[in-house]
Structure 1
Amino acid sequence: MRQSLRLRLFIGAVLAIAFVLLLVASGLGRIFTNYVADRYRADMSAIIDQLAAGVEFSGGIARMTDAPSDPRFELPGSGLYWEVIGGNGLVFRSRSLWDVELLPETLVDGAYGFRQGEGPDGEPLLVQLRKVELETPEGSRPLTLLAGFDRKVIDDAISEFHGAMTIMLVLTAAVLLAAAFLQIGIGLAPLSRLQKGLSLVRSGRTDQLPDAGPTELRPLVTELNGLLKERETAVERARARASDLAHGLKTPLTVLLQLADNLPDRERSMIRQQVDLIRQRSDRQLQSARLGVEQMAQTGLASLTGKLISVLAPVTTARDVTWKLALDDQLTVDMDPADLAEALGNVLDNATHFARTEIVVAAERDGKYIRLDVEDDGPGVAEAALPEITARGVHLVEGEGTGLGLAITSDILTAYGGAIAVSRGATGGLRVSLLLPAGH
């Protein structure tokens, strides 16, 4: 399954950013919660200190001589409370508690390190409790001091902080993701330039990749240039061997033709036919050996087709066969001109043999390919025989030709990643469709 490197890097960045921001959110949330809880504990401790300082014993009876001055203690249900319980059961409490008494034995462990009870409005209270012993002339006197506040106050403060922090972290994530996307684009840009360089090499516009770019890519560029150099050397060797083989075959074939002149007409004709067949097949095999290592080039489809038709025009003009062309001058094919000429020439040549009045040649771009249709208005081929037409040795008309034309075309197109298809045309003749790699 194909995976995008850009997508994989972006997903990795998203996961890393999400993980880090979750850690930051958790850490900041814990730090703020502890800070707020510590502040409230300090405030409650200060209130308890004031309460302890404001209690006096006279004749064994406790009195509140100085209560905390915060006005919230005077407003019922204000959210801030205190209570003092003497050893004899005497209770002093802030007016904010109204008629509610905080009993130490009813308090349970609460959040943020406080104990929890119930306030005058039934709301949960967080309470700090301290038991002290006051020294009096009559002896030591126990006191239980309590200071508390509505839990909702600290919950709301922490909730507001988390809301603001969430907005901040979302904005931070958006900025970091944008930065990651930009960084990935900048980081992968050299690969895009490398791809364009390879495209230029493939199209024959240059023979080496530029030795520029990031340090990390230079070893790859060096290796690719070395591979291209070896490929060029292999091409030259293939050409030299092809030339040697062509020259090696030329002499024995010429001798055979000379010997054939001394034979009767029937045998001489047969030998000449076989020698021609050997030449055709050897030329094809030499060209096949070159395919795949020959450097590709951009070939203008309309221009090459026009040249091929001009060669075939004398044959069609003599038979009153007209050509109908629908080719865009801008269409280019990513093939060697000689290979494209042979592949297309075989198809056009077949069409000239069987057309009655007209041959239609049309082409259009289809994604990365160009579809070229050659259709004649001849007798056509039976539906059952269509799949076998491109096989070697199959003759469109028994006894005519070598049966290699469309097979050779198929071999050439396959070598370039193209394909050939045959079907019945609109007029009943043969339609040959060539799928050619489109130029850039």
Structure 2
Amino acid sequence: MMRSLRLRLAVGAVIAIGLVLLVAWLSLTRLFTDYVVERYRSEMTTIVDTLAAELTLKDGKLSLAREPADPRFDLPNGGRYWQVSPLTGDSLRSRSLWDVAIDPDAPVGSRYEGFSVSAGPDGRPMLVHSQTLSLGESAPAVRFVASAAFPQRELDEALRDFQAPLRLMLLATAGVLAAAAFLQNAIGLAPLRRLRERAASVRAGRDRDFGTYGPSEVQPLVSEINLLLKEREMAVERARARASDLAHGLKTPLTVLAQLAERLPAEDRGLALRQVELVRQRADRQLQAARMGVERMATTSVMGLGGKLVSVLRPVTAERDVAWKIAIDNALSLDVDPADLAECLGNLLDNAAKWARSFIRFSARRDQGAITILIEDDGPGIAEQDRGPILKRGARLDTTDDREPEGTGLGLAISADIADAYGATLTLERSDLGGLRVRLTFPVRVERRPLRDPA
């Protein structure tokens, strides 16, 4: 089943043009054939009438007072032939027939365009027009068959001479009609292309709806989409309100639990506080997942957002003399919600800031159909066998580094989930700096997908 409107219209136009031109071909060919055949029949009838007018009856025998004046009758195989065949007696015929006689009793079935077919003096078919006449008004009146003929190839050549330019004309007409059909197709579908661009603008957050743009035929569809967008916006607001209520509802109980945990014995206090923090982190992740499921897209500058994140982290690493290098084109942007991209890059940059010894490199580039973001450090890195497990929630690696950071191990997992929600991929590699390289690859045209269940 064809799902493309353009293809459907093109196929319909080709079929319609083909049918019309086929009918035109058959009709014009038939009309011209009838016209040429009628001209030849008229010529043959004139010859027969001329023969009949010149015939005389003497002693019961037919004789021709004067032969037709056309010189082709006097040349052997001259191209025009006549014959007078009485029912009894010898026949009279033109010299052009040479030693061939026209059979006046040829079977009716052997006919071509209304003419009888007979062998000519050259052995090729000739077309014969015959009439049965009588001469004399008294009882001894003589009946005879008067025939006139011409070569069949003359009729065939006349038809071919007509059909050759007709084919060229119809092919040229087909080309013009096809071009007109495809032009009409392009013009007719142009509003749909502009509607698609408007949809991309709505999706990117630059417009709230389609407005009243579009031809009258698609206005009902545009109106329904606008209503759907309005209902979606209301659902977003309700979801935000519920998320805010949930955040506030969890904040107070978690604070109370943390205060109660401070009163526990020392051997239990740390475990209880870590569990409270784990609940807070997972609640925050659930709220993030709910927000990502309903927020609209927006175009975000990678350099603009990345520069802000680095400016926040740079003072944290300054006391360890960690240098930063940023190599990002100012024109590079992604159709990603700024808050989502900030959380994703923030976790990755924060991880690099915690583990880097002296240098962090933050770069981004466009590679054909993708935008690649690289965050590299010269820290201890992650062993290849540990790179998969570390992307799971709560996973932390045993390390002998005396700067082991606090946290629950959710940072890399959250970044991986956000990347997956936008159709991007997050991979961990070894950097040429000696530490970890995080490669984040976004498609140029981002299609948001449902976020994985964070439970």
TM-score of the superposed pair, with normalisation by structure 2: 0.90
Partners of 1:328 and 1:363 within 8 A in 2: yes
Cross-structure match for 2:451: none
Distance in 2 of aligned mates of 1:118 and 1:417? 82
Distance in 2 of aligned mates of 1:75 and 1:351? 109
Give the superposed CA RMSD.
2.2
| Greater CA drift, 6-15 or 217-226 | 6-15
Partners of 1:292 and 1:416 within 8 A in 2: no
Cross-structure match for 2:36: 36
| Paired AA for residue 18 in structure 2 | A
**DSSP-derived class of the 2:315 partner:** helix
Cross-structure match for 1:71: 71
Q: Structure 1 residue 266: deviation in Å?
A: 4.2
Cross-structure match for 2:228: 227
Cross-structure match for 1:206: 207
Q: Structure 1 residue 128: deviation in Å?
A: 1.3
Question: Which aligned pairs between 1:85-96 and structure 2 lie closer than 5 A?
Answer: 85-96=85-96
Q: Structure 1 residue 137: deviation in Å?
A: 4.9
Partners of 1:335 and 1:437 within 8 A in 2: no
Question: Which aligned pairs between 1:239-278 and structure 2 lie closer than 5 A?
Answer: 239-278=240-279
Cross-structure match for 2:358: 357
Deviations along 1:228-252, one digit per CA (max 9) or x if unpaired, are 1011001100111111111111211
Instruction: Tell me, yes or no, if structure 1 residue 110 matches structure 2 residue 116.
Output: no
Cross-structure match for 2:414: 408
Question: Which aligned pairs between 1:321-336 and structure 2 lie closer than 5 A?
Answer: 321-336=322-337
Deviations along 1:394-432, one digit per CA (max 9) or x if unpaired, are 214468531211111121122222221222233443221
Cross-structure match for 2:27: 27
Distance change >3 Å, CA 71–CA 122, structure 1 → 2: same
Q: Structure 1 residue 343: deviation in Å?
A: 0.4
Q: Structure 1 residue 305: deviation in Å?
A: 0.8
Instruction: Tell me, yes or no, if structure 1 residue 215 matches structure 2 residue 216.
Output: yes
Cross-structure match for 1:433: 439
| Greater CA drift, 269-278 or 202-211 | 269-278
Question: Which aligned pairs between 1:75-154 and structure 2 lie closer than 5 A?
Answer: 75-105=75-105, 109-135=110-136, 137=138, 139-154=140-155
Question: Which aligned pairs between 1:50-69 and structure 2 lie closer than 5 A?
Answer: 50-69=50-69
Partners of 2:301 and 2:330 within 8 A in 1: yes
| Paired AA for residue 140 in structure 2 | G
Cross-structure match for 1:293: 294
Partners of 1:57 and 1:136 within 8 A in 2: no
| Paired AA for residue 221 in structure 1 | V
Q: Structure 1 residue 2: deviation in Å?
A: 8.3
| Greater CA drift, 58-67 or 150-159 | 58-67
| Greater CA drift, 279-288 or 107-116 | 107-116
Cross-structure match for 1:4: 4
| Paired AA for residue 59 in structure 1 | D
Aligned pair count? 440
Distance in 1 of aligned mates of 2:370 and 2:357? 30
Q: Structure 1 residue 110: deviation in Å?
A: 3.2
| Paired AA for residue 212 in structure 2 | D
Partners of 1:260 and 1:272 within 8 A in 2: yes
Q: Structure 1 residue 360: deviation in Å?
A: 2.1
**DSSP-derived class of the 2:57 partner:** strand
Distance in 1 of aligned mates of 2:377 and 2:397? 13
Q: Structure 1 residue 374: deviation in Å?
A: 1.5
Distance in 2 of aligned mates of 1:307 and 1:95? 110
Q: Structure 1 residue 78: deviation in Å?
A: 2.5
Q: Structure 1 residue 141: deviation in Å?
A: 0.8
Distance in 2 of aligned mates of 1:113 and 1:12? 39
| Paired AA for residue 168 in structure 2 | I
Q: Structure 1 residue 439: deviation in Å?
A: 6.8
